[in-house]
């Protein structure tokens, strides 16, 4: 080999490498499809999938276009969605939590603005998180999911106590159950389930300072984390943890897999703060307990707090959005199923409380009318319904926030450190 | 006459030697799917990219953030701690097991088959299995609290210990196989000579077995180092980098930044750093093991 | 010859047996119990009720498709690696000149490179080549990253073939290709076996690549399937562990039919 061919070879190698890299880093174009083509529908895995499938099947048989439904498990749904939205294979219609999670997609021009005529079919408060910058980009497709306290009725009866209505009562209950060797609150403290710890923070902040504080943060004013209510919340949480409210093992407990739900129905924990879907989870895991032993009550008030004790935190609902790669006509027609009678009825049968304007009449026929009415009243009477913070903020801010919350609960950060760490997330 | 023939055949015909063309297909393949991405990572580390819009060039922004980020330093330390922990635990166990299994006794073959079982499970399957088994309320810790403590994954030491436990459980069978194969190849004559000289079991082990296993120790260590730098699924499934960020090893930190915070540019900076560490490790290991000298181990035997 | 039984070794072996055996027992134990009762007596007890329902649940969810996909990925990856690494190793060992030495150094450098570090640009490349959400998106990168170890092992094996044999082939007037096929390949069988086993295991254990490069259910591999089951069967722990058990079946099959080759392949890398 002489030096010329050596140089040639090295140059060729470098050129290949560079061109492949550059070609790879270019943005990919999305294909446009005919208006009445097929639509790829992505949804989260959960008990209501059968209702969605029924709606899809009915739609497909009506012959106005074809929708194919892909169910994706919770762990990684958002990652997968994000990856797909950046690739050449965007889904046509997808399920999301609205709010911050849709922001990025709207900014990147990937979503189709929906017809405002659809709005009349839903409760106004539920539509809020489906709008970005005033434009409707998502319509409700599920029931509302407020967060509240679930408790084991038998354990309470045995201890002779009532579920708490004030924070002081809550602290007392911690002592009572601790004395009986029962973990007062089940908590999934493992790093993959930090969103369960987030719920505590959300409620305490809301009770102390009202919903406006987080509103401002969501609106972009990150310095609001300096508000004394945040520090007080962190201190209250430290007190709770130190007083043994969550037991000593919560750092290794997961949500789901033999975790918090099992602790509750096996009587090892007395209460758990969770979203309304806990009912369906218990129904699948321990049907007897779900029907007879599961109690529920709103999160207690906090003395001296500015927030209304009727405020609610959670997922207002979930939304369906349409992307620019979808067959427009098919997708729009498909969206109409979300307020069809059969769909709403199906949701109610699964224990959901839909937020459509025609929902009320079906609630009496729910599998557990008392539970349905409880949720509906809770949401209807709530002066405000704050969306889960990690959904509202979007993952870029939400993921580090969850990590900091985890550290607070684990005792790795002091309340002061928590505040400064959260402030440091966004410069 | 013979001498003449030898002289005629002075230069071996060049047809005999494979030329460059033989290596080209594999080389191209490697370039496209391995080297080009490495260049890409370096390039992306100088950009800001969120996965939806085209990447924007931002110069040194990611890197200045990188050098001031205590989280990166912590991730590196944790990666190192896990690596060392794994080597320190797995190497002795594997050597002892491997040498034991190389023995001729019958029962050893049966037990060896049992010891092989963890290899049937993929790393993800093992991690999922242990995730359940380590549940503090319903898994092994609930019955064996004296061994696991009450909250095995709630502290950094506990979480690291759990990761080392699971990795050991999964990979010792593999490494002990390496040692078993090598130990079988040690000539019996060496041991016999030592016995005659009056050397006991322990002395034979230290002065005969271990030195003969040197090559295997190097190979085994190489695998452990590579494994330590890529052990991603175990962390994801078992601890998710927690508690907090206590077990966020570098690959996990990179994944988290990229796919859960959508900051692909900064994640690429972390990835470039990981590449640097790995290349340094590669160079060090090949120098130590003498692999690049291309001499056969059979020579002189 | 040792005549005294080695008590220390015996005790240590017993401990290790427990370490291996107890978790496996807990695994099987939980997998055969129904969801409602598996927590009653703890993981190392004797179960009251035994059922095979969990396995049915897992099969119903399309688990066989995942296993099939994984097998396809493993076989394809091994095929590509052999097709590429054998010629490279041959060139490296028998070739002359700066190029072959340089190529060897390049692959050595890539030995410890973690494939995860380059996942982001790799995703872009795969996407732009049109392989996103196909099994090729997994196969191609996995094969590429398996090349360094394979080249190392194969060249090690080929080096051991003595020069005289090569010269004998040269006397016959054999071309490099013929030498490769009739001399080198048969004589490097153990190195090839090792390469096959390692590469197949690499493909089998692959997690991050499938996680990022595939999305639809049809293209899932077993490791991803298990990851999904963690949230899918969140509360159904017995079903989850049944899935773990079932994921071991393919390798168990290989072990039963090709035990010698499998074990020899795994051991093979140790001696060099």
Q: What angle do CA A323, A327, A331 make, to 5 degrees?
A: 70
The pLDDT of residue C234 is 64
Query: 259-278 in A: which are within 8 Å (CB) of B?
Result: 259, 262-263, 268
Q: Is there a single domain that holds both residue A236 and residue A330?
A: no
Cα separation, C117 vs B269, whole angstroms? 10
Helix, strand, coil percentages (3-state) for chain B, rounded to 5, are 75, 0, 25
The pLDDT of residue A89 is 77
Asked if B196 is an interface residue toward chain A (Cβ–Cβ < 8 A), one would say: no
> Does the residue B8 lie in any domain?
no
Asked if A280 is an interface residue toward chain C (Cβ–Cβ < 8 A), one would say: no
Q: Burial, B108: exposed, middle or buried (Cβ in 10 Å; 0-12, 13-18, 19+)?
A: middle
Q: Is there a single domain that holds both residue A401 and residue A368?
A: no
> Does the residue B232 lie in any domain?
yes
Residue from C45, C113, C160 whose CB has the most chain B CBs within 10 Å, to mutate: C113
Q: Burial, C268: exposed, middle or buried (Cβ in 10 Å; 0-12, 13-18, 19+)?
A: buried
> Does the residue B36 lie in any domain?
no
Phi/psi at C173 (5° precision): 80, 25
Q: Is there a single domain that holds both residue A264 and residue A373?
A: no
pLDDT in tens, A294-342: 999 999 999 989 999 989 999 888 899 999 888 888 888 888 888 888 8
> Does the residue A22 lie in any domain?
no
Neighbors of chain A with 3 or more C-beta pairs under 8 Å: B, C
Say what percent of chain A tops pLDDT 90. Answer: 33
Q: Which residue has the tokens 């078993």?
A: B180
> Is residue B2 scored above 60 in pLDDT?
no
The pLDDT of residue A25 is 44
The pLDDT of residue A170 is 94
Question: What integer is the mean pLDDT of B241-254?
Answer: 85
Cα separation, C152 vs C146, whole angstroms? 10
Enumerate residues 6+ apart whose C-beta is below 8 A from B51. A82, A83, A85, A86, B262, B264
Asked if A244 is an interface residue toward chain B (Cβ–Cβ < 8 A), one would say: no
Neighbors of chain B with 3 or more C-beta pairs under 8 Å: A, C
Residue A258 near residue A118, CB atoms below 8 Å: no
Residue C138 near residue C214, CB atoms below 8 Å: yes
Q: Is there a single domain that holds both residue A327 and residue A339?
A: yes
Q: Which residue has the tokens 């609106």?
A: A219
Q: Is there a single domain that holds both residue A235 and residue A95?
A: no
Q: Is A123 helix (H, G, I), strand (E, B) or coil?
A: coil
> Is residue A12 scored above 60 in pLDDT?
no
Cα separation, A82 vs A97, whole angstroms? 13
Q: Is there a single domain that holds both residue A207 and residue A335?
A: no
> Does the residue A10 lie in any domain?
no
Residue C5 near residue B98, CB atoms below 8 Å: no
Question: What integer is the mean pLDDT of A216-224?
Answer: 89
The pLDDT of residue B1 is 46
> Is residue A343 scored above 50 in pLDDT?
yes
Phi/psi at A394 (5° precision): 85, 155
What DSSP element (H or E) covers A40? strand A39-44
What is the DSSP code string of A189-223? -SGGGTHHHHHHHHHHHHHHH-THHHHHHHHT-GG
Residue C53 near residue C270, CB atoms below 8 Å: no
> Does the residue B9 lie in any domain?
no
Query: 185-204 in A: which are within 8 Å (CB) of B?
Result: 189-192, 194
Tell me the CATH number at B88: 1.10.3720.10
Query: 264-293 in B: which are within 8 Å (CB) of C?
Result: 264, 267-268, 271-272, 274-275, 278-279, 281-283, 285-286, 291-292
The pLDDT of residue A229 is 94
Listed range (A137-141, B23-27, B166-170) with the worst mean pLDDT: B23-27
Instruction: State chain A's mean pLDDT as an integer.
Output: 84
Tell me the CATH number at A222: 3.40.190.10
Question: What integer is the mean pLDDT of A226-231?
Answer: 94
Residue B61 near residue B44, CB atoms below 8 Å: no
> Does the residue B196 lie in any domain?
yes
Q: Which residue has the tokens 């997922």?
A: A315
Cα separation, A211 vs A392, whole angstroms? 13
> Does the residue B295 lie in any domain?
no
Asked if B245 is an interface residue toward chain A (Cβ–Cβ < 8 A), one would say: yes
Crossing angle (nearest 10°) for helices B156-184 and B214-230: 150
Residue C126 near residue B32, CB atoms below 8 Å: no
> Does the residue B297 lie in any domain?
no
The pLDDT of residue B291 is 59
Asked if B205 is an interface residue toward chain C (Cβ–Cβ < 8 A), one would say: no
> Does the residue B125 lie in any domain?
yes
A277-292 burial, b at 16+ Cβ within 10 Å, e below that, comes to: bbbbbbbbbbeebbee
The pLDDT of residue C160 is 77
The pLDDT of residue B13 is 47
Q: Is there a single domain that holds both residue A104 and residue A181?
A: no
Count of domains for chain B: 1
A167-201 burial, b at 16+ Cβ within 10 Å, e below that, comes to: beebbebbeebbeeebbbbbbbbbbbbbbbbbbbb
> Does the residue A19 lie in any domain?
no
Q: Is there a single domain that holds both residue A323 and residue A304?
A: no
Q: Considering CB atoms only, which of B154, B256, B259 is closest to A252?
A: B154
Write down the H helix ranges in B19-122. Answer: 24-30, 36-44, 61-67, 70-101, 106-115
How many CB atoms lie under 10 A from the CB of residue B187? 11
- Band the pLDDT of A181: cuts 50, 70, 90: very high
The pLDDT of residue C219 is 84
Pairing of strands A145-152, A294-297: antiparallel
Count of domains for chain A: 2
Sign of CA dihedral C2, C4, C8, C14: positive
pLDDT in tens, A239-261: 999 999 999 888 888 876 568 88
- Band the pLDDT of B299: cuts 50, 70, 90: very low
What DSSP element (H or E) covers A415? helix A415-423
Residue from C235, C241, C243 whose CB has the most chain A CBs within 10 Å, to mutate: C235
Q: Is there a single domain that holds both residue A383 and residue A291?
A: no
Q: Which residue has the tokens 């309304």?
A: A276
Residue from B8, B13, B23, B283 whose CB has the most chain C CBs within 10 Å, to mutate: B23
Cα separation, C143 vs B248, whole angstroms? 27
How many CB atoms lie under 10 A from the CB of residue B244? 24
> Does the residue A1 lie in any domain?
no
Q: B243: cis peptide before it, omega within 30°? A: yes
- Quote the domain boundaries for residue B205: 59-287
CB-based contact B271 C118, cutoff 8 Å: yes
Q: Is there a single domain that holds both residue A381 and residue A296?
A: no
Q: Considering CB atoms only, which of A25, A89, A259 is closest to C132?
A: A89
The pLDDT of residue B166 is 92
The highest-confidence range among A408-417, B127-136, C114-123, by mean pLDDT, is A408-417
Residues of C in contact with B147 (CB under 8 A): none
Q: Is there a single domain that holds both residue A322 and residue A307?
A: no
Q: Considering CB atoms only, which of A249, A399, A410 is closest to B136?
A: A249
Residue count of chain B, please give it. 301
Q: What angle do CA A104, A110, A114 make, to 5 degrees?
A: 100
Question: What integer is the mean pLDDT of A200-224?
Answer: 92
Q: What angle do CA A344, A349, A351 make, to 5 degrees?
A: 100
The highest-confidence range among A25-34, A289-298, B284-293, by mean pLDDT, is A289-298
What is the DSSP code string of A314-329? EE---EEEEBTTS-HH
Residue C41 near residue C48, CB atoms below 8 Å: yes
Cα separation, B112 vs C255, whole angstroms? 13
Residues of A in contact with C119 (CB under 8 A): none
Question: What integer is the mean pLDDT of B229-258?
Answer: 84
The pLDDT of residue A15 is 53
| Closest listed residue to residue B123, CA positions, set A76, C38, C148, C210 | C210
3-class secondary structure per residue, chain C: CCCCCCHHHHHHHHHHHHHHHHHHHHHHHHHCCCCCCCCCCCCCCCCCCCCCHHHHHHHHCCHHHHHHHHHHHHHHHHHHHHHHHHHHHHHHHHCCCHHHHHHHHHHHHHHHCCHHHHHHHHHHHHHHCCCCCCCHHHHHHHHHHHHHHHHHHHHHHHHCCCHHHHHHHHHCCCCHHHHHHHHHHHHCHHHHHHHHHHHHHHHHHCCHHHHHHCCCHHHCCHHHHHHHHHHHCCCCHHHHHHHHHHHCHHHHHHHHHHHHHHHHHHHHCCCC
Interface predicted TM-score of the whole assembly (ipTM), two decimals: 0.81
The end-to-end CA distance of chain C, in Å, is 27
Cα–Cα distances (Å) from C137 to B251, C83, C226, in that order, read 20, 18, 20
Residue C245 near residue A87, CB atoms below 8 Å: no
- Quote the domain boundaries for residue A320: 39-144+316-387
CA of B248 vs chain A CAs: smallest distance (Å): 11
Q: Is B77 helix (H, G, I), strand (E, B) or coil?
A: helix
Q: What is the pLDDT along chain C (272 residues), one digit of tens a residue?
A: 445 567 777 788 888 888 888 899 889 888 888 877 777 777 777 887 888 888 888 888 888 899 999 999 999 999 999 999 998 888 888 777 776 778 888 887 777 677 778 888 888 888 888 888 889 999 999 999 899 888 888 888 888 777 788 788 777 777 777 777 878 888 888 888 888 888 888 888 888 888 888 877 788 888 888 887 776 666 678 888 888 888 888 888 888 887 777 777 777 654 44
> Is residue B16 scored above 80 in pLDDT?
no
Residue count of chain A, please give it. 427
> Is residue A224 scored above 90 in pLDDT?
yes
Sign of CA dihedral A177, A183, A189, A193: negative
CB-based contact B38 C117, cutoff 8 Å: yes
Q: Is there a single domain that holds both residue A169 and residue A234?
A: yes
The pLDDT of residue A210 is 92
The pLDDT of residue B232 is 80
Question: What integer is the mean pLDDT of A55-81?
Answer: 82
Sign of CA dihedral A375, A376, A377, A379: positive
Asked if B124 is an interface residue toward chain A (Cβ–Cβ < 8 A), one would say: no
The pLDDT of residue A301 is 93
């Amino acid at each position: 080999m002489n030096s010329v061919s050596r140089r040639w070879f090295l140059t060729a190698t470098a050129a290949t490498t560079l061109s492949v890299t550059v070609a790879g880093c270019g943005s990919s174009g999305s294909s446009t499809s005919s208006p009445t083509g097929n639509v790829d529908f992505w949804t989260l895995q959960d008990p209501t999938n059968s209702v969605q499938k029924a709606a899809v099947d009915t739609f497909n048989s009506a012959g106005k276009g074809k929708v194919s439904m892909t169910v994706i498990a919770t762990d990684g749904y958002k990652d997968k969605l994000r990856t797909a939205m950046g690739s050449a294979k965007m889904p046509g219609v997808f399920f999301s939590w609205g709010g911050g999670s849709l922001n990025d997609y709207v900014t990147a021009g990937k979503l189709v603005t929906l017809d405002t005529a659809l709005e009349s079919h839903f409760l106004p408060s539920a539509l809020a998180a489906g709008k970005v910058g005033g434009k409707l980009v998502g319509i409700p497709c599920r029931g509302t999911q407020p967060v509240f306290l679930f408790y084991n009725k038998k354990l309470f009866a045995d201890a002779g106590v009532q579920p708490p209505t004030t924070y002081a009562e809550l602290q007392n209950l911690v002592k009572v159950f601790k004395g009986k060797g029962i973990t007062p609150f089940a908590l999934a403290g493992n790093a993959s389930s930090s969103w369960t710890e987030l719920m505590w923070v959300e409620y305490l902040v809301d009770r102390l300072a009202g919903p406006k504080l987080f509103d401002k943060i969501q609106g972009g004013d990150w310095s609001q984390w300096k508000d004394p209510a945040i520090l007080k919340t962190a201190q209250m949480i430290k007190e709770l943890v130190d007083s043994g409210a969550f037991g000593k093992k919560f750092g290794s407990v997961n949500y789901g897999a033999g975790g918090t739900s099992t602790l509750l129905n096996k009587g090892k924990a007395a209460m758990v703060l969770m979203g309304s879907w806990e009912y369906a989870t218990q129904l699948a895991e321990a049907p007897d307990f779900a029907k007879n032993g599961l109690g529920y009550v709103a999160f207690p008030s906090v003395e001296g707090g500015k927030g209304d004790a009727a405020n609610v935190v959670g997922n207002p609902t979930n939304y369906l959005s349409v992307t620019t790669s979808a067959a427009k006509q098919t997708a729009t027609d498909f969206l109409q199923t979300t307020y069809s009678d059969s769909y709403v009825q199906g949701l109610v049968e699964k224990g959901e409380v839909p937020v459509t304007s025609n929902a009320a009449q079906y609630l009496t026929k729910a599998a557990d009318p008392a539970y349905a009415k409880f949720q509906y009243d809770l949401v209807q009477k709530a002066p405000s319904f704050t969306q889960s913070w990690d959904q509202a903020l979007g993952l870029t801010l939400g993921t580090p926030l969850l990590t900091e919350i985890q550290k607070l609960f684990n005792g790795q950060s002091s309340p002061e450190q928590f505040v400064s760490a959260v402030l440091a997330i966004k410069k | 006459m013979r001498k003449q023939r030898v002289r005629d055949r002075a230069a071996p015909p060049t047809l005999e030697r494979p030329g460059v063309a033989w290596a080209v297909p594999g080389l191209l393949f490697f370039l496209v799917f391995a080297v080009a991405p490495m260049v890409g990572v370096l390039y992306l580390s100088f950009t800001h990219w969120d996965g939806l819009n085209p990447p924007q060039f931002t110069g040194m922004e990611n890197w200045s953030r990188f050098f001031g980020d205590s989280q990166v330093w912590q991730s590196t330390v944790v990666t190192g701690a896990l690596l060392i922990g794994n080597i320190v635990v797995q190497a002795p166990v594997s050597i002892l097991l491997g040498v034991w299994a190389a023995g001729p006794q019958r029962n050893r073959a049966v037990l060896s088959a049992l010891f092989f079982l963890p290899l049937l499970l993929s790393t993800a399957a093992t991690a999922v299995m242990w995730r359940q088994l380590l549940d503090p309320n319903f898994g092994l810790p609930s019955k064996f609290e004296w061994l696991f403590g009450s909250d095995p994954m709630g502290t950094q030491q506990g979480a690291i210990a759990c990761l080392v436990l699971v990795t050991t459980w999964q990979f010792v069978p593999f490494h002990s196989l390496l040692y078993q194969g090598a130990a079988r190849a040690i000539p019996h004559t060496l041991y016999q000579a030592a016995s005659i000289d009056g050397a006991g079991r322990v002395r034979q082990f230290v002065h005969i077995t271990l030195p003969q296993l040197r090559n295997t120790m190097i190979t085994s260590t190489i695998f452990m180092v590579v494994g330590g730098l890529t052990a991603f699924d175990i962390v994801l499934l078992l601890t998710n980098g927690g508690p907090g960020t206590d077990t966020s090893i570098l690959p996990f930190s990179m994944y988290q930044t990229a796919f859960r915070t959508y900051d692909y540019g900064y994640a690429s900076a972390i990835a470039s750093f990981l590449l640097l560490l790995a290349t340094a490790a590669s160079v060090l290991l090949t120098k130590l093991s003498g692999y690049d000298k291309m001499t056969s181990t059979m020579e002189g035997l | 010859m040792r005549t005294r039984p080695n008590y220390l070794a015996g005790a240590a072996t017993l401990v290790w047996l427990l370490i291996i055996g107890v978790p496996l027992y807990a695994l099987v134990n939980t997998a055969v119990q129904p969801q409602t009762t598996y927590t009653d007596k703890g993981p190392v007890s004797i179960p009251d009720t035994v059922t095979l329902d969990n396995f049915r649940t897992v099969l119903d969810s399309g688990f066989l498709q995942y296993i099939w996909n994984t097998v396809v990925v493993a076989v394809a990856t091994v095929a590509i690696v052999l097709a590429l690494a054998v010629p490279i190793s041959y060139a490296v060992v028998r070739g002359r000149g700066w190029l072959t030495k340089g190529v060897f150094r390049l692959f050595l450098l890539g030995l410890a490179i973690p494939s995860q570090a380059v996942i982001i640009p790799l995703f872009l490349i795969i996407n732009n080549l049109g392989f996103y959400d196909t099994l090729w998106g997994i196969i191609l990168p996995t094969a590429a990253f398996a090349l360094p170890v394979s080249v190392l092992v194969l060249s090690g094996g080929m080096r051991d073939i003595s020069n005289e044999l090569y010269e004998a082939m040269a006397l016959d007037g054999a071309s490099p290709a013929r030498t490769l096929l009739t001399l080198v390949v048969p004589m490097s069988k153990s190195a090839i076996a090792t390469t096959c086993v390692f590469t197949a295991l690499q493909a089998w254990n692959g997690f991050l690549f499938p996680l990022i490069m595939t999305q639809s259910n049809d293209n899932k591999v077993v490791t991803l399937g298990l990851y999904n089951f963690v949230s899918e069967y969140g509360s159904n722990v017995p079903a989850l562990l049944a899935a773990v058990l079932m994921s071991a079946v393919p390798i168990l099959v290989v072990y039963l039919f090709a035990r010698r080759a499998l074990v020899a392949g795994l051991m093979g890398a140790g001696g060099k």
